[in-house]
Structure 1
Amino acid sequence: MLADVRAGRVGMLFNGYGVAGARRAQAAALDSRLGIPLVFAADVIHGCRTIFPIPLAEAAAFDPDLSERAARAVAREASAGGLHWTFAPVVDVARDQRWGRVAEGAGEDVYLNCLLAAARVRGFQGLDLRRADAIAATPKHFAGYSAVRGGMEYAAVDMSDAELRETYLPPFAAAFAAGAAATMASFTDVGGIPAAANRRLLTDILRGSMRFAGLCVSDYDADRELIAHGVAADEADAARLAILAGVDMSMQSGLYNRHLPALVDSGRVPVAAVDRAVRRVLALKEALGLFDDPYRSLDVRAERRETRSRPIRALAREVATRSIVLLRNEGDLLPLARDRRIALIGPFATDRANLNGPWSFAGDAADGIDLASGIRAHAPALVVDDGADPARAAAVARGADVVLLAIGESGDMSGEGNSRTSITVPPAHQALAEAIAATGVPMVVLLRHGRALVLEGAVRDARAILATWFLGEQTGPAVADILFGVREPTGRLPVSFPLADGQQPWSYDRKATGRPAPDDDPAMPGRSRWRDAPDRALYEFGAGSGYTRFALSDLRVPATVARGAAVVVDVALRNVGARRGAALVRVDIHDVVASRTRPARQMKAFRRVVLDAGETRRVTLSIAHDDLALVAADGAWRVEPGDIDLWVDAGPGARIAGRFRVEG
């Protein structure tokens, strides 16, 4: 490798970690003919050495400020380990939970994806990319990558122009507006042309309508894969297609090194195309300050100081706690009293190997705190069983007042290349749940997962369910804090949990059909329905509650909204429970009559509000006028005049509706 670096054939090294090795490689680069420094990159998705919750879990906090703080902390640790560039954030809007990479993004809602994309870019890059603790961000995968057919990784994507522009491009636009230095082209065939060869996507849209000026890197070997896609005859043809489409940097394949000189000499690739790509690569290195200081971020003292520091571990715990979603709490089983006899049962009770989930980069599973360790800090008499023998586990359950059942997906069931046709819990876990439920002992399901799951039988009907995702190394303390009421569960679902596998793809903002089934007769023939499942989710986007309840009243919405004006919504929120708690106050809208069909609901604003028991406060939320726009029938972005329905939601049983009219 160092020989290639000295020969000037390498511009970027990726997925290595550590200052010592990076310094050796950088010295080799500076010995090359041109002396152009290397840039060191990695897939730092949700932590470097200190592993945070997966991005999907973090999205459940509905808190862009928290996401920015987490990305800032991760950038400090990653840069101290010798990295300049991360291939993150993933900003693919994910509506099909069969797709494995749901875990890496912010879920199914466009608005939430936009806010978190911008927040994560700001966090990674900081105020100045030249600072030693900043890393360049790479929103990916451009574009439409998550809409693969059947949820199958790397499969084809085919969608309307309006769907691409309204659903899949806005998070990229938000990330670019936040200053993202780079983007990554996806692996997939988009409308019949793979992204790495798709000039319409990478030039006309990315550089033209979106005006992105940063670097575009291919995904791993994606330019070579143009041959397998059947659009390139050989390696040289693949390199030609990629450079002409707009791929500035080829990752891993080596095709540009091997074939661009001859392609330029033969006239098949104009030298201007190569110059354009080279300028963007050099511009990234210049923006990072590498020409002024090639050894920026290669300081062993900073590496020792920042790696797994106390502040970053504390923040990882905070994010983990804020990511947990309370889906069900029948009879207020939670929070638990410390004097209860508690049994922790299941394959994840003492497991550390599956805490981090996919893309945990340089994290060490040994640094993780398992569930049993976290819970024992509150309940020293905790009884633990791994659930390998359901009969034995049932016997343990009978000796307890409450069972905590730790089940769900293993770490290798989510992430890249891990699509699933069935998104239920593994059969052995389901059988264990049925055995525990048969004892009659109250059961709390601690669900570990990297996507929304279909919950069935005893899992679905458990007295309480906590969505605990892959929370990273602070899993045990975070879950324990929620179980025992040290912290309020404030997470809300960023993805809908469907009732059945066959409902995929699913999102809360789906459109109505011309033949909707009436609520009072959902089985009516000749209507939009499934014969074997209702047309609804088990838990929809935004679901989740805390240990208190809220009520809404006195909604104030303007009757009319002038062209260009924001919509200001004001409502009274009251904590009607007995505990201090946090409400997620959310505003959804529906355009009643438009030039194109519109989603039944779309979230356009939200705010987290903390109230003491019995406290009432007026809450004001604002919808930007541009957030009312749609891609109209003529293809233009436009805010159309007319009536818009509006709902304000603050959790179970707390919803209030209104309407306003947009003036022409």
Structure 2
Amino acid sequence: MKSMQRLMMLIALFAAINSTAQTTTDPKMKPFIDALMKKMTLDEKIGQLNLPGSGDIVTGQASNSDIGKKIKEGAVGGLFNIKTAAKIRAVQKVAVEESRLKIPMIFGMDVIHGYQTTFPIPLGLSCTWDLKLIENSARIAAVEASADGICWTFSPMVDISRDPRWGRISEGSGEDPYLGSQIARAMVKGYQQNDYSSNTSIMACVKHYAAYGAAEAGRDYNTTDISRISMYNNYLPPYKAAVDAGAGSLMASFNEVDGIPATGNKWLLTDVLRKQWGFKGFVVTDYTGINEMIDHGMGNLQTVSALALKAGVDMDMVGEGFLTTLKKSLAEGKVTQKDIDDACRLILEAKYKLGLFKDPYKYLNEERAKTDIYTPAHIKAARTTAAESFVLMKNQNNLLPLKKGGTIALIGPLADTKENMPGTWSVATDLKTAITVREGLQNVLGSNAKILYAKGSNLDADSLFEQRATMFGRDLVRDGRTAQQMMDEALAIANQSDVIIAALGESSEMSGESSSRSNIEIPQAQKDLLMVLVKTGKPVVLVLFTGRPLVLNWEKANVPSILNVWFGGSEAGNAIADVLFGDVNPSGKLTTTFPQNVGQIPLYYNHKNTGRPLTDSLWFQKFRSNYLDVSNLPLYPFGYGLSYTTFSYSDIRLSSATLGKTGNITATVTLKNTGNRDGAEVVQLYTRDLVGSVTRPVKELKGFQKIFLKAGESKAVTFTISAEDLKFYNSEYKFVAEPGDFKVFIGGNSVDVKEASFKLL
């Protein structure tokens, strides 16, 4: 017992050390920056707040470019979307050798789910429920990005979203604030490593603060209208978790909050972020975020620039509102010298923390790009991570895994497209190196099976829609044949085959920024193809590509097996083949609810009850909260995902029926692998607060563990519950745990759970 106590004390000590490592300030930083700022002119201070894009910079002309001239004048604080150590060195050289005060610049990029080695889109990553795997993906991204001169990433995106019509749901971690918070911490740690002493640690920029994922109608950049109590309980937790993890910067969101755009919202950027949470980093706008407040109706460029600065924005991305108006606003008394100085100091502090004043070329070792980018170890990690992210949604009669033999028909517009495998926001990826499904099957099968291929259909019957859905070099090369001709070819090879693999769904740019959809079904041209393939009577496996939850009613009812592969990254094709043929047993679980139709949206597991909930029936009851034409149930619930094996759960065993304000209780189930394959199960813990001073959700995720069991093996899985886990924000925005009755649920998804009860004293 004493040795266990010592171990727990050591763990607590290491945790404290890690926590303080993020927040401890170098005592030399303040006097250094004080002295520097005394030398700076007003124009130079304002220049630090300016973040243009890389613009017209080309190799060998950095000094003579328009941006180069501004850098010499001290009018640029950093650049983004410029890469390679050679190019960045040339620009940094202008800053530190040709400007008056030789202040280095910070260089950022959208390193969202990997750099050149690309991992699954963030929504897919979240479906691994594996925090170490997720942290490692960010660590590898930081190693590669820093080897190309980048020291700042506009990631992680931690927006909670309950609306799959919103394209950027693909870039976040789903609908749950608890899981989103855990992933936010893991990503920040992966990028920053608790400090910036190494040249492989880069600064995270948490986005989009705040509540961007609640855009009305799922339409990007749209209005949001959320109560503050919902913001505190549902939308803000992942941002706070990232701040608590030591994130160096935040990005303001495009949407409004309480009628004021986030970019100019003092309550959001100062009262909550700095005063309540103690954030010490800097805030940057999103692309032209200040300028966009003009169309929101907040005033002209000078007015909105002053509003943003006074609200708590420190750096202006692209819009140059700060650069062109703050001097005038200062003269007119609309901003103060302290407002400008405070913002400037935070930018300089970020550069100091990154070690750029000590060595402006810290991240510019060109040899690292030869050894640290797209390495065999990174490629292997990408393949493993992709396979862990896939969600097996249906597997009738154990069709999967497939045998490595016979003749296989591979059909679909997404079966042989390198450009669409990495997914949206993979800006640094070399698309030519991505592995297609066709290549992956060939790599895994070798000469053991015969693969026949046909495209089968275009992405969509509408060529203009397909253009919009394949931007940024993600072209599918539209086939000029008629739909019937393409289908006939597909049927010809299907009839020669033992099994059909249909690679269908969204192209990579059908989700992501500015890719909202009002119809979230598989495009009809592809669905028509799928229907014909199923009619052949051959076994059909749907390999589903998507960046969002889709409406899949027909597919669920008629297709024997459905494997949701999201967009798996560089190694997508290999990982898909690994799972299809059983080299990897899928263990992904959904982090978003799949609706039966768009009319159910927003649909999420942790909803509130109504005063007239459905009682015994799951279907229609008059004068109850439901629909005439569809049940309240999701098509696939949060937390859902199948395996090639099966698992059973015992009843929950509580260590006590009561929980005090201090101390804890444990909830234990015995998990058994009841199938004949080894596999992993994500065991999920939910609670329900039955009576509260404000209404509480019907379930809330409070813990999870990914457990690997060999066939036939059993294991006791234990969760510890304390009063801290039961806290929420009440109507006074105080974080409290209220005494009363609680339910606890444990299971493999948010619906199929065991249940027990306890009381908080």
1:411 matched to 2:508? The reply is: yes
1:470 matched to 2:606? The reply is: no
Q: Would you say the 8 A contact 2:112–2:425 is kept in 1?
A: yes
Q: Would you say the 8 A contact 2:659–2:722 is kept in 1?
A: no
User: Of the candidates 276, 281, 290, which is equivalent to residue 223 of structure 1?
Assistant: 290
Q: Distance in 2 between matches of 1:292 and 1:650?
A: 51
Question: Alpha-carbon deviation of 1:600?
Answer: 1.0
Structure-1 residue corresponding to 2:253: 186
TM-aligned CA distance change 1:516 to 1:578, over 3 Å: same
Q: Would you say the 8 A contact 1:551–1:650 is kept in 2?
A: no
The correspondence of residues 236-385 of structure 1 with structure 2, limited to 5 A, is: 236-379=302-445, 380-385=449-454
Choose 364-373 or 523-532, whichever is displaced more.
Answer: 523-532
SS at 1:470 equivalent: coil
Structure-2 residue corresponding to 1:597: 695
Question: Alpha-carbon deviation of 1:394?
Answer: 2.2
Q: Distance in 1 between matches of 2:663 and 2:545?
A: 44
1:440 matched to 2:537? The reply is: yes
Question: Alpha-carbon deviation of 1:651?
Answer: 5.8
TM-aligned CA distance change 1:462 to 1:652, over 3 Å: farther
Q: Distance in 2 between matches of 1:222 and 1:125?
A: 26
The residue identity in structure 2 corresponding to 1:538 is: L
The residue identity in structure 1 corresponding to 2:679 is: G
Structure-1 residue corresponding to 2:113: 46
Q: Distance in 2 between matches of 1:371 and 1:397?
A: 17
How large is the Cα RMSD of the aligned pairs? 1.4
Choose 628-637 or 540-549, whichever is displaced more.
Answer: 628-637
The residue identity in structure 1 corresponding to 2:425 is: W
Structure-2 residue corresponding to 1:531: 628
Q: Distance in 2 between matches of 1:161 and 1:560?
A: 32
1:216-249 Cα offsets, whole Å, 9 max, x none, are 00111000111111111x2111211110111000
1:85 matched to 2:152? The reply is: yes
Q: Would you say the 8 A contact 2:491–2:533 is kept in 1?
A: yes
1:147-188 Cα offsets, whole Å, 9 max, x none, are 011111111111111100001111011111111000010011
Q: Would you say the 8 A contact 1:583–1:609 is kept in 2?
A: yes
1:27 matched to 2:96? The reply is: no
Q: Distance in 2 between matches of 1:624 and 1:82?
A: 45
The residue identity in structure 2 corresponding to 1:524 is: Q
User: Of the candidates 242, 251, 266, which is equivalent to residue 175 of structure 1?
Assistant: 242
Structure-2 residue corresponding to 1:140: 207
The residue identity in structure 2 corresponding to 1:6 is: K
The residue identity in structure 2 corresponding to 1:339 is: G
The correspondence of residues 198-209 of structure 1 with structure 2, limited to 5 A, is: 198-209=265-276
Choose 623-632 or 90-99, whichever is displaced more.
Answer: 623-632
Question: Alpha-carbon deviation of 1:555?
Answer: 2.1
Equivalent residues, number: 662
TM-aligned CA distance change 1:653 to 1:630, over 3 Å: closer
Q: Would you say the 8 A contact 1:88–1:138 is kept in 2?
A: yes
User: Structure 2: any 5+ residue segments left out of the alignment?
Assistant: 1-66, 458-485
User: Of the candidates 716, 723, 727, which is equivalent to residue 618 of structure 1?
Assistant: 716
Alignment TM-score, normalising by the size of structure 2 = 0.85
Structure-2 residue corresponding to 1:5: 71
Question: Alpha-carbon deviation of 1:251?
Answer: 0.5
Q: Would you say the 8 A contact 1:590–1:644 is kept in 2?
A: yes
Q: Would you say the 8 A contact 2:650–2:669 is kept in 1?
A: yes
Question: Alpha-carbon deviation of 1:581?
Answer: 1.1
Q: Distance in 1 between matches of 2:730 and 2:555?
A: 46
Question: Alpha-carbon deviation of 1:34?
Answer: 1.4
TM-aligned CA distance change 1:413 to 1:624, over 3 Å: farther
Question: Alpha-carbon deviation of 1:567?
Answer: 3.6
Structure-2 residue corresponding to 1:514: 611
Structure-2 residue corresponding to 1:550: 647
The correspondence of residues 565-644 of structure 1 with structure 2, limited to 5 A, is: 565-644=663-742
Choose 107-116 or 387-396, whichever is displaced more.
Answer: 387-396
Q: Distance in 2 between matches of 1:343 and 1:370?
A: 15
The residue identity in structure 2 corresponding to 1:416 is: E
TM-aligned CA distance change 1:497 to 1:154, over 3 Å: same
TM-aligned CA distance change 1:633 to 1:259, over 3 Å: closer
The residue identity in structure 1 corresponding to 2:735 is: W
TM-aligned CA distance change 1:287 to 1:103, over 3 Å: same
Q: Distance in 2 between matches of 1:253 and 1:378?
A: 49
1:423 matched to 2:520? The reply is: yes
Question: Alpha-carbon deviation of 1:624?
Answer: 4.2
Question: Alpha-carbon deviation of 1:614?
Answer: 1.2
TM-aligned CA distance change 1:251 to 1:432, over 3 Å: same
Question: Alpha-carbon deviation of 1:625?
Answer: 2.6
Choose 386-395 or 48-57, whichever is displaced more.
Answer: 386-395
The residue identity in structure 1 corresponding to 2:600 is: Q
SS at 1:283 equivalent: helix
Structure-2 residue corresponding to 1:197: 264
Question: Alpha-carbon deviation of 1:473?
Answer: 1.3
Structure-2 residue corresponding to 1:396: 493
Question: Alpha-carbon deviation of 1:459?
Answer: 5.8
SS at 1:224 equivalent: helix
Choose 261-270 or 364-373, whichever is displaced more.
Answer: 261-270
SS at 1:659 equivalent: strand
Question: Alpha-carbon deviation of 1:520?
Answer: 2.6
Q: Distance in 2 between matches of 1:639 and 1:446?
A: 44
User: Of the candidates 278, 287, 290, which is equivalent to residue 211 of structure 1?
Assistant: 278
Among the aligned pairs, what percent are the same residue?
39
Q: Distance in 2 between matches of 1:568 and 1:205?
A: 34
Question: Alpha-carbon deviation of 1:637?
Answer: 1.5
User: Structure 1: any 5+ residue segments left out of the alignment?
Assistant: none
Q: Would you say the 8 A contact 1:430–1:459 is kept in 2?
A: no
Question: Alpha-carbon deviation of 1:100?
Answer: 0.6
The residue identity in structure 2 corresponding to 1:324 is: F
TM-aligned CA distance change 1:238 to 1:632, over 3 Å: closer
User: Of the candidates 112, 119, 138, which is equivalent to residue 186 of structure 2?
Assistant: 119
Structure-1 residue corresponding to 2:34: none
Choose 518-527 or 140-149, whichever is displaced more.
Answer: 518-527
SS at 2:125 equivalent: helix
Structure-1 residue corresponding to 2:23: none
Structure-1 residue corresponding to 2:638: 541
Q: Would you say the 8 A contact 1:345–1:403 is kept in 2?
A: yes
Structure-2 residue corresponding to 1:661: 759
Choose 526-535 or 401-410, whichever is displaced more.
Answer: 526-535
Question: Alpha-carbon deviation of 1:269?
Answer: 0.8
Q: Distance in 2 between matches of 1:204 and 1:361?
A: 35
SS at 1:121 equivalent: helix
SS at 1:498 equivalent: coil
Question: Alpha-carbon deviation of 1:517?
Answer: 2.4
Q: Would you say the 8 A contact 1:605–1:623 is kept in 2?
A: no
Q: Distance in 2 between matches of 1:483 and 1:251?
A: 44
User: Of the candidates 86, 94, 97, which is equivalent to residue 161 of structure 2?
Assistant: 94
SS at 1:588 equivalent: strand
The residue identity in structure 2 corresponding to 1:55 is: P
Alignment TM-score, normalising by the size of structure 1 = 0.98
Structure-1 residue corresponding to 2:35: none
Structure-1 residue corresponding to 2:590: 493
Question: Alpha-carbon deviation of 1:378?
Answer: 3.3
Q: Distance in 2 between matches of 1:417 and 1:183?
A: 21
Q: Distance in 2 between matches of 1:580 and 1:363?
A: 34
1:387 matched to 2:456? The reply is: yes
| Structure 1: 4+ residue segments shifted above 4 A | 651-654
SS at 2:552 equivalent: coil
Q: Distance in 2 between matches of 1:521 and 1:553?
A: 26
